[in-house]
Each structure stands twice: as structure tokens, then as C-alpha cells.
Amino acid sequence: MRFIDLAIIIGYLVGVTALGVAFRRAQTTASDYFIGKRNTHWLVICASIVATETSTLTLIGIPAIAYGSFARAEQGGNFMFLQIVAGYVIGRFIVSLLFVPAYFKGELQTAYKLLEERFGTAAKNFAASLFLVVRAVGDGVRTFAASIVISAVLAVTLPELPFLAAISILAVGILTLIYTYQGGLIAVLWTDLVQLVIYVSGAVIAAIVIWNAIPGGWSEISSVAADAGKFEFVSFAFDASVPFTFWAGLIGGIALTTASHGTDQIIVQRLLACRNEGDAKKAIVTSGFLILFQFALLLFVGVMLFVFYKHFPMATELAKNDEVFPRFIVEHMPVGIAGLMIAALTAAAMSTLSSSLNALASSSVLDLYKPIFKPDADDASLLKFSRRLTAVWGIVLIGIAFLSRDVGSVLTVGLAIASLIYGPMLGAFLLGVLTKRANQQGVVAGMFTSMASMIAIWNLTPIAWTWYVPIGTAICFSVGFLASLIFAGPSRTGQN
């Protein structure tokens, strides 16, 4: 790495940390710390939603999908991931119509308070506990993904230089923890906006550099990519083991986004920070179109990398496809641009990690700690404890990142882990908003059965991860509704 590249990376890390810390003075209560003062513009929250769901997994994993092999092993990947993204967009409209109005009926501060109001404390505690465990594991994997960048920087694989992977994980983890600990959600929202601008700009610049480096430009790109089937984007195959088909993408993408953006505290927290219901709807729907643009751009980068390396073969083979984009950045990006790109990859890691830390702490404090242990806690003591718990979760996620070195594709592993919980969650929330007869015993039984079933499906069947959420949702909803009829107790709405 050249001096100017290192200076850009260090300047970014120091600058974004200082920006986040500057928001400390805006926090006077735990509510301020976790949802702000409900006065943030919806465009900032929209940007934060996009940045939160765009981790380093996305920036290195999506180009790797288009570059590497899936349906056509001998020719590489293609644009079929966009079938899932189409479901992502539709799912956001469902969230805006189904869940956002429910969240703004009261002064809710977490997603799982909705379950408490509808069913009772046990349902809320079970859902919050599931969220804490699975979110921590999934975002630990995302934190690990940042170390892949360091591996490419030094042109070696992680097992050969494990201490450099550790430095990467610690640098990203500790600096993110500092500004999240100090500034709370407001710091996270505004740093997310900065990070979004950095990594999208970096991706656009990378696309331009690769395009210009390929002899013949667009003519050559289109010819080679078309011959390799790179522009294929729809498959109507009925194969549950293939993740990227029209059916898996549409149904799975809708279910995944409805769950992740309608029931996951990490996104719902942002919606609750909006000024009103209308702003929340605009933020969630607009974010879908930004995500569509972003994924299309990153897939195109992967296609161009495929064409580039046809002309300029690598000196050494990749250990995994996830390394292709970071390796190009280090070996072929102009001076200064390489530093910007690595800063962009780091920005994506930090935006997701900071959001996760604040969401984990908010659910821990507001759903479990305060109601169970300190119901009479004053604002000052609760704010102090919230910061401490943020630090604890930071240590936990960094630890999980160290244990994630042997995972396969970081993108698919991260999405698969998240998908395990989203089915039970979405099923429980749908029982709450669509039915009157469901009760607490039934919902808990449905969630437990769904979670156990999904773990078995993940380990024992070849079913693709894109089907996990629809299957888990169906199991939770059906078991929960039938169990409610068996237990036959009154619902919280007072109806049998």
C-alpha cells in the first residue's frame, strides 16, 4: 500500500469516529440514545437503512456472485441475484402497509413491544431473545468479512497471516464501538449517511476503472459477458436447492425483506426514529429502489471483473471468490483510489456493525433489562447502563468475528443465519396483525417449533437459504394458530 492510500484509510477511520463521538451531547435519556428525538429527516433514515443492510459482505460478496459460478459452473455467475432484489422492493411496500401503521399507534421503542401489547410479556421476551442471539452471530460474520480486505491488501490468505486478520477485526470493531457508545442512534444515522456516500462512490469509480482497463471497452465487455451467460437474470426452474430462481427470488425475497424490515429491531429502530408514520413509509419504500440500483451496480462490477481477468489472468488463484474484488482494488486501482475503495469496504463494515450494536443494546435494555430487573430505573442510570451494554455487545461481536474464519461464502452464510430467525419472527408478527384468535401460548409454540424446524432444515436438507423465511413463516403461523385454538385462552385484544 502506498502512503497516500494509507493516509486516506486512516483519515476516514479517524474522521468518521470523531463525527460519531460529536453527537454524544445530544443524548440525555435512554430514549434519545436508542431512537433519537424523532426529528431526523426521512432521507437520512432512508440512507441509514440502505447502509445498515449493506455490509462488507455485500460489497465483496455481490461482485463475487456475478464473477463466480452458480447455475453454470463452467462459465460463472450472472445477474440472477436480481430476482431476489425484486422481492426486496415488493417486501418494503408490504412493510409500509402492514407494519408501519402498527408501530406508530403507540409510543413504541422496540419492534418486540408490539408483540407484548398484542400477546404478552412471554412472546416479547422470546422474540427479543431470538433476535439477540441470531443477530449477534450473523453480524459477527459480517465483522469478520472486513478482514478479507486486509488479506487481499497483503496478497496472502488469512491462515498464513492470522494476526493481520485480527488487526483488521479489532480496528473496525473498536473504532465503531467508540462512536456508537458515545453518540447512540443519532451518531449511527449520520455516520451511515457518510459511509453510504463513500462506498457507493467507490463502487462507481471501480466500475469506471475496470471498464477503461478492458481492451475494447463496452464492445468487449458485452461480447465476452454475453457468451458466458453473464447477463442472464431470470430462471423459472423449480429446484428448491438453487437459491437464485424466479420463484425463490420473488417469494423468498418478499418474505425475507418483510421480516428483516418489518420485525427486526435493527431496521424497525430507524422507522421509529422518523418524525411520523408518513416519513417512515417514505424512508422504507425509497430504500428499496436504492438497494436495487446498488445491487445492479455491484453485479455489473463482478461481470466486468470476469471479463478483465479473461484478458489479464491472475498470477495466483483465488482461495475463494470473495477475494476477487479486494484483490483487484489492491493490484490494479490507481494510487489514491485503492485507499478510497478500502475505506469504502471498511465503511460498509462499520455501518452495519454500529447499527447492530445499537439495536442489540436497545432490545437488551428496553425489552429485557428494564422491564425485568429495573422497572423504576431513572433516565440517567438507564442511559449509563445502555452505554455499558453497547460496549459488552461490541466485545461479543468482535469475539464471534474471530470464530468465523472458516465459513464459506460470507454473503450466503450471513444471509442464511439471518434467515433462520426471520421465519419465526415474521410468523409471530403476522399472527399479531392478521388474526384475532391467536394467543401468547400459541405464538410461543409456533416460534419455537419454527426455529427448531429451520435448524433441522439448514443442517439436514439441500433446500436453498432463499426458502428459509417462507418455510419458517408458514410453520410458525400454522402451528401458532392451531396451538392458540387448542390452548383456547383469550387474546390480549379481549376476543376468543
Higher pLDDT, 1 or 393: 393
Cα(260)–Cα(267) distance, rounded to whole angstroms?
7
Helix (H) or strand (E) segment spanning residue 437: none
Question: Is the CB of residue 425 less than 8 Å from the CB of residue 259?
Answer: yes
What the chain holds in terms of domains, given with CATH numbers, is: 3-408 (1.20.1730.10)
26-70 pLDDT per residue, tens? 777 787 888 877 888 999 999 999 988 887 768 888 898 888 754
Categorize the per-residue pLDDT at 163 as very low, low, confident or very high, splitting at 50, 70 and 90.
low
380-395 pLDDT per residue, tens? 888 889 889 999 998 8
Question: Is the CB of residue 351 less than 8 Å from the CB of residue 51?
Answer: yes
Cα(387)–Cα(467) distance, rounded to whole angstroms?
37
Cα(397)–Cα(140) distance, rounded to whole angstroms?
5
Which of 150-164, 257-271, 296-310, 325-339 is predicted least confidently? 150-164
% of the chain surpassing 90 pLDDT: 27
% of the chain surpassing 70 pLDDT: 88
AA identity, residue 99: F
Beta bridge partners of 72: 76
Beta bridge partners of 76: 72
Q: Residue 329: CB partners within 8 Å, gap ≥ 6?
A: 152, 206, 338, 341, 342, 345
